[in-house]
Structure 1
Amino acid sequence: MVTLERLKEVGVQFARRDVEGIVGCFAEDGVFRNAVGAVPEGESYQGHAAIRAFFTGLFQRTPDVRWDHTAEYVTADRGVTEWRRTATLATGERQEWLGCDLYTFKDGMIVLKDTYIKVVR
C-alpha cells in the first residue's frame, strides 16, 4: 500500500526539479506516460535512463516549470495528484494548464505514472 506521505515525497522531487530524485522514485522498469504523443496512451518512457532523459530535457526547455498540487489521494497501491502546471518556453511563451497524474506503486516505487492535461489554446 502507498501512503499519502510517499506521494508527497514524489511531489517534492518534482517541485525541486531534481532529476535524480525523480528517477529514484521509479522502479527500475517503471513507466512514465506523457500526456502527449503519437498514440492514444501518450509517449511512454520506460526505465531509469529514458525517464532521466525526458525530465532532463523538460527542465532544460522550461527551467521554471512547476506543478502546484491542488489535491492528492491514495488508495491501496494507487495515487492521484491534481495540479496546475505553469512554465515559460525559451520563446517567452507562457504555458498554464490543469492536469493530474495517476500513479501505480509497488513496494513504494512508481511502476506507472500516467499524466493527463487540459491544454489551453
Structure 2
Amino acid sequence: MSDLENERLKTLEQVFDAFNRHDGAGVMAGMTDDVVFDAAAGPEICGRRIQGAPDVRAAFESTFAMFPDVSWECTRHAVFGDRGISEWIFRATTKDGSRIEAEGCDLFGFRGNRICSKSAFRKDRPQQPAKTGRAVA
C-alpha cells in the first residue's frame, strides 16, 4: 500500500471515529469543501444528493439529532488508489423506541488525503419493535 493510501485509510478511521462521537466538525475535517454526499435514501437515482461542506455537515448533524444513540460499527475499511470503502453496522433508536440495525457500506472518492465523495448504501431492514418490560434498577 502506498503512503497516500495509508493516509487515506487513516482519514477513514478518523472520520468514523468522529461520526461515532457525533462530532460534525471532526467528520468534515476529513472532507473537501466541495464534498458530494449521496444519502442511502431519497427521490433521486443516487438517493438524495447533498453538495458542499455546510450542507453535508448539516445532513450528518441532523442524523445525530434524530438518533441520539446512532453509531456505525465499522467492520472493514479498504483503500485502493483514489477510492475507498467502509463496511459497517448502523444502529440507532427511533423516538418511539424502535431499533434500527442494518449492515451497510460507503463508497468514497478521494482528492489528496481528503474525501471528496461519499455514497451510502444500507440494507432496507424493517425497524425492530421497542423492547417492552420493566427496567431493572
| TM-score using structure 1 length | 0.94
Tell me the number of residue pairs that the alignment of Structure 1 and Structure 2 aligns. 121
Cα displacement (A) at 1:6: 2.3
Question: Is there any run of 5+ residues in structure 2 with no aligned partner, and where?
Answer: 127-137
Structure 1: which 4+ aligned runs deviate by more than 4 Å? Answer: none
1:55 offset after TM fit, Å? 1.2
Letter in 2 for 1:76: G
Q: Which position in structure 1 is the counterpart of 2:125?
A: 120
Letter paired with 1:96: E
- Name which of 33, 41, 63 aligns with 1:36: 41
Counterpart among 42, 53, 58 of residue 58 in structure 2: 53
Q: CA deviation at 1:7?
A: 1.8
Q: What is the RMSD of the two structures over their aligned residues, measured on CA atoms?
A: 1.1
2:64 aligned with 1:64, yes or no? no
Of residues 104, 111, 120, the one that matches 2:109 is 104
Residue ranges of structure 1 left out of the alignment (5+ in a row): none
The alignment's TM-score, normalised by the length of structure 2, stands at 0.84
| Paired position in structure 1 for 2:13 | 8
Distance in 1 (alpha carbons) for counterparts of 2:78 and 2:114: 16
The aligned residue for residue 94 of structure 2 is 89
Q: Shift in Å at residue 80 of structure 1?
A: 0.5
